[in-house]
Amino acid sequence: MLLGGNETTRKIDSFAINELKIPSIVLMENAAISFVKHIDDNEDNFLIICGKGNNGGDGYTIARQLFSKNKNVKIFCISNENMSHDCFVNYEICKNMGIEIFYKIEELDRLLLECDVVIEGIFGTGLNSEIKGKYHEIIEKINFLNKNKIIYSIDIPSGINGDTGEIMGISVKSDITISFVTYKKGFLKSDIKNYLGKVVIENIGLNENKISHIVNEYYLTPEMIKSFHIKRNENSHKGDFGKVLIFAGSSGFYGAGNIVAKSCMRSGAGLTTVITDKNNFSLNVFVPEAMSFPVNFENIEENFEKLENKILNSDVIAIGPGIGKSHKALKIFEKLISFEKNYKGNNIKLVLDADALNLLSENRELFEKIKNRSILTPHVVEFSRLTGFSPEEINKDKFEIAKEFSQKYRINLLLKGENTIITNGEKIFVNSTGNSHMANGGMGDCLTGIICSLAGQKYDLLESAIIGAYLHGKVADELLKKQYIINATHIIENISGFMNKIF
């Protein structure tokens, strides 16, 4: 699904009108037809509240669509002065059709009490300043008198800034927001969810592929995830699904390595090997399907010859969770990234997380070794160490900072958090799944395991990160329906079942 702010929406409209030559009034008609599809046929008693811009124009168009289905429709016109052209045309049609139109604010309370469904088209993407005066009063009334009513917002709940999600003084609290063409960037803001209600994105007669050159930001949907799926060949064998080498866990943090390995296996990798201290036997108990590559941490170099062979046999190497920042960890990290290609002549894909990122921040010359073949999966603090920006600065402008970082170092980036973003420096994908009940230790390790597993199964790194982040959050969302807290172990136990469902 396309993701966009007000400017993107304007660009799409302008492309549709000026290049595709679709008259704007046709787009408005299409928007109204798409909107009306979502209204329960049993509803009969509508009040449509219209502003004077194109959002109001949508309102008048929806009003006459419903009226033509013999519904009981009343319109509250906030202003009929300086209407946009298309708004005026549809207002005139409503008048000519004999739909009752009310103008006096004194009548609004009664109208709100009498109706069953309110559809508001006061402001959409054109809201440009703090809401005051009459408009403020009207929105206050809608929110106050909404008991037992369903409130629909056209495009954006009036009062929410489509770019930032900021409430511009006041906003309608909607039950259902039906938005056009793009999932609005402002909808990502966490504290406005109860203003948006359920969000539906509708088409206005444009083919998504034909406008993709205008948009390079996407909000993940199950359809997108499904479209990436690579079918398993019936006569395939374990070697076809990736040899994944994992360097994760160290004394005190063996759990991290075990979680990465188990989530890697459970999400389908062919062969998983974990580099671990020769004295750690927990891996075999926790995930017997995985192999271990025991190293003597007292004398790291002594393992390197055998390790080289292992590296050159790998398709993917995941590095970082629980390895610490010791000199020994750095030495192994350096060794693991020292070969660009494996025996088959393919790039060895790298998934770098946690301490691998901390080591990278302190040894920046290593960036040269990982370019064009890696994904970095920091949370905001790790990303702050990598970029030098504070977490506050990152959160304010994370799309741009993430994209620039990805371009500069030629890496793919997955920035974890409430709206995890994934970028290859050109496109940005925002994850639509996940919840705060999964915010606990080990969750990131589990994501690393899923991503390296998918990378082994021949998804490219960007796809692996997109699918991985989506599945990881989606499993947590599903589990939240029956439990309060979700740990990495819960995700691991359920991921395969969910992959079955989505693929």
Ligand X SMILES: NC(=O)C1=CN([C@@H]2O[C@H](COP(=O)(O)OP(=O)(O)OC[C@H]3O[C@@H](n4cnc5c(N)ncnc54)[C@H](OP(=O)(O)O)[C@@H]3O)[C@@H](O)[C@H]2O)[C@@H](O)CC1
Ligand Y SMILES: Nc1ncnc2c1ncn2[C@@H]1O[C@H](COP(=O)(O)OP(=O)(O)O)[C@@H](O)[C@H]1O
Residues in contact with ligand Y by CB under 6 A are 354, 379, 416-418, 420, 434-436, 438-439, 441-445, 447, 472-473
Q: Return the exposure string of 303-336: e unless at least 16 CB atoms fall within 10 Å of the residue's CB, then b.
A: beeebeebbeebbbbbbbbbbbeeebbbebbebb
**CA neighbor of 362 nearest in space, from 390, 333, 339, 321:** 333
- Span of 14-22, 39-47, 151-159, 415-423 interacting with K ion by CB under 5 A: 151-159
How many Cα atoms within 13 Å fall on the side-chain side of residue 420?
28
Our finding on whether 124 is near ligand X (CB under 6 A) is: yes
CA dist 87 and 468 (Å) reads 44
Nearer to K ion, 196 or 265 (CB): 196
Burial of 227 (0-12, 13-18, 19+ CB in 10 A): exposed
CA distances from 174 to 5, 46, 101, 236, 310 (A): 19, 15, 23, 51, 57
Our finding on whether 125 is near ligand X (CB under 6 A) is: yes
496 is in an annotated binding site: no
345 is in an annotated binding site: no
Give least dist CB 459 to ligand Y, A: 18
CA dist 174 and 320 (Å) reads 44
431 is in an annotated binding site: no
Nearer to ligand X, 108 or 413 (CB): 108
Give least dist CB 211 to K ion, A: 22
Question: Which residues, at least 6 apart from 146, have a Cβ–Cβ distance to it below 8 Å?
Answer: 112, 118, 173
- Phi-psi sector, 105: left (phi>0), alpha (psi -120 to 50), beta: alpha
Give least dist CB 420 to ligand Y, A: 5
Position of tokens 């449509």? 48
Site string for K ion, 101-140 (x = CB under 5 A): ----------------------------------------
CA dist 502 and 127 (Å) reads 38
416 is in an annotated binding site: yes
Instruction: At 108, list the tokens.
Output: 């609004």
Which of 6, 9, 65, 158 is the binder for K ion (CB under 5 A)? 158
56 is in an annotated binding site: yes
Residue 425, contacted partner among K ion, ligand X, ligand Y, none, CB below 5-8 A by kind? none
Our finding on whether 154 is near ligand X (CB under 6 A) is: yes
Which of 18, 129, 190, 194 is the binder for ligand X (CB under 6 A)? 129
Burial of 477 (0-12, 13-18, 19+ CB in 10 A): middle
Nearer to ligand X, 24 or 361 (CB): 24
Nearer to K ion, 131 or 283 (CB): 131
420 is in an annotated binding site: yes
Our finding on whether 67 is near ligand X (CB under 6 A) is: no
Would you say 87 and 131 are in contact if contact means Cβ atoms under 8 Å apart?
Answer: no
Our finding on whether 300 is near K ion (CB under 5 A) is: no
CA dist 452 and 464 (Å) reads 7
Position of tokens 């010859």? 305
445 is in an annotated binding site: yes
Q: Name the β-bridge partners of 429.
A: 218, 422
CA distances from 421 to 161, 202, 386, 433 (A): 21, 23, 16, 11
Q: Give one DSSP letter per residue of 71-107, joined into a string.
A: -EEEEEES--SS--HHHHHHHHHHHHHT-EEE--GGG
- Residues 397-416 within binding reach of K ion (CB under 5 A): none
Closest-approach residue to ligand Y (CB): 444
57 is in an annotated binding site: yes
- Span of 21-29, 342-350, 375-383, 400-408 interacting with ligand X by CB under 6 A: 21-29
- Span of 26-34, 291-299, 328-336, 414-422 interacting with ligand X by CB under 6 A: 26-34
Residue 222, contacted partner among K ion, ligand Y, ligand X, none, CB below 5-8 A by kind? none
Q: In Å, how far from its chain's centre is CA 170?
A: 26
Would you say 248 and 319 are in contact if contact means Cβ atoms under 8 Å apart?
Answer: yes
Our finding on whether 47 is near ligand X (CB under 6 A) is: no
Our finding on whether 35 is near ligand X (CB under 6 A) is: no
Residues at the interface with K ion (CB under 5 A): 153-154, 158
Residues at the interface with ligand X (CB under 6 A): 13, 24, 27-28, 31, 51-56, 58, 84, 123-131, 135, 154-155, 180, 204
Binding residues for AMP: 416-420, 444
Binding residues for (6S)-NADPHX: 54-58, 124-130, 135, 155, 256, 322, 379, 445
Binding residues: 54-58, 124-130, 135, 155, 158, 256, 322, 379, 416-420, 444-445
